[in-house]
Chain A
Amino acid sequence: MPKVKVPRKSTNVDMTAMCDVAFLLLSFFILTTKFKPTEALQVTTPKSVSTKAVDAKNVVLVTLDKEGKVYFSVSDENKGEKEQVIDLVDQLKSLGLSAQEKAAFAKVGTYIGVPFSQLKSYLQLNPEQMKAFKAPGIPVTDTLNNEMQIWIRAAATAFQGKKMNLLVKGDNDAKYPSFKGVIDALKKNEIFKFSMITDPEGVPPGTDLYKKNQASGGRATDE
């Protein structure tokens, strides 16, 4: 019987194509990645079944850190409103802030976590000192001296005619009284609508909302 000759094939695979694909994907991921902005305030938000994305326009952000300290900031996109807010606060509390101190507030990424008594000295700090500054938080738990009320009033006035998007971003471990202080400040200003920033979470099966979502064909409901 004649021997069947099996041609010996090389086991060398051409890697070029694979390399091309790998780097194509790599460039895609590099370009689409949006790194989490480094935040000065470390806040871990709780989870909720809400599916609505956060609206990033005209944001007024109230942050609660894990010790229950309250901070206030206005979105950097609304520079005009930001300047107005500090002007109004200056007038309402007659703090006598200089133009330079006001400019410090209008700068990118500034957030306020100090009582009015310390606001002037806080705004005089340079950016590095500001970062290292251990803010005591805006006092809110005292019903008679709820300073958040002034901030919210200033913000509401500055955003007049626009839809102010009030967001509350709280840490899991923040205690309820400081959250209540924020709610009280909002109520006093007749603001009854606000949103809380949360991380998405699946709806537990078997519940009413789950059934409703199933019935609507798995479409995300608005609320």
Chain B
Amino acid sequence: MAEMDTSSKGGGHKKGPGVKKGKKLSTRVDLTPMVDLGFLLITFFIFTTTMSQPTAMRLFLPKDTDKPEEQNKVKASGALTIMLGKSNGVYYYEGELAPDGSNFKSSNFKDIRQEIISKKKNTNPDDFVVVIKPGPEATYKNTVDILDEMTINEVKRYAMVDIFDVELQLMKRTEESAGIK
């Protein structure tokens, strides 16, 4: 394949004592390095190719309304309030926040899923609602993660609400006692 026919069979050259024989050089080239190079480049291009296209996550916002009749009333017993704090901290309470903050619990992004699942199981689907309250120290990633958690666990009703001062204070105190900076 990788050689050329250099022999001159059937050519016009005569063989004989008077004809000088040219030295036949092989044109066979060793292709191994070329193959090596080829595969090296292939691997490079395979690795640099971006296969994964970015995806879009849709978010629908509720309309801010002052009219009480237009507001969705949340049945307190069916609500799960999740707050996002510093350093990926997650805090939550079920129902209404007790005045002494006794039902305020801390969690993390791994364990919150179990909490959502069990709350979903134990609540009437019509009453179940998750209230998400990202604090000022929460990151965008935390927010997207918790919204994603809603999709993962198929929570149909959830809302993103501003955090209340009481909750913020409580969260700060919990963070301080846990030594989160």
- Which residue numbers of A lie inside 8 Å of B, CB to CB? 14-19, 22-23, 25-26, 29-30, 32-36, 45-55, 64, 167, 170-177, 179-180, 183, 186-187, 190, 192-201, 203-204, 207-210, 212, 223
Cβ-defined contact, B48 with A35, below 8 A: yes
Residues from chain A with a CB closer than 8 A to the CB of B140 are 46, 64, 170-176, 179
Select the residue from A16, A64, A187, A193 with max chain B CB neighbours within 10 A: A16
* Beta-carbon contacts under 8 Å, B40-68 to A: 41-42, 45-46, 48-50, 52-64
The majority secondary structure among interface residues of chain B is: mixed
The verdict on A175 contacting B61 (CB below 8 Å), with A22-B35, A34-B50, A200-B52 known, is no
Would you give 24 A-B contacts (Cβ < 8 Å), ordered by A? Answer: A15-B32, A15-B35, A16-B2, A19-B38, A22-B34, A25-B42, A29-B42, A33-B45, A45-B54, A52-B55, A172-B141, A179-B140, A180-B162, A187-B64, A192-B60, A196-B56, A198-B55, A198-B148, A200-B52, A200-B55, A207-B117, A208-B117, A208-B154, A223-B151
Listed stretches B14-22, B74-82, B129-137; interface member = B129-137
Minimal beta-carbon separation of B155 from chain A (angstroms): 9
A194 and B60 alpha carbons, distance in the complex (Å):
7
User: Could you count the A-B residue pairs with CB atoms below 8 Å apart for me: how many are there?
Assistant: 176
Q: Which residue of A lies closest to B148 (CB)?
A: A48
Q: Which of B35, B60, B134, B152 contacts A204 (CB 8 A)?
A: B152
Cβ-defined contact, B55 with A33, below 8 A: no
The majority secondary structure among interface residues of chain A is: mixed
A141 and B35 alpha carbons, distance in the complex (Å):
58
Residues from chain A with a CB closer than 8 A to the CB of B62 are 192
Residues from chain A with a CB closer than 8 A to the CB of B32 are 15
A-B interface, 10 closest residue pairs, ranked by CB to CB distance from nearest: A22-B38, A15-B31, A29-B45, A195-B56, A174-B140, A172-B141, A170-B140, A16-B1, A208-B154, A176-B134
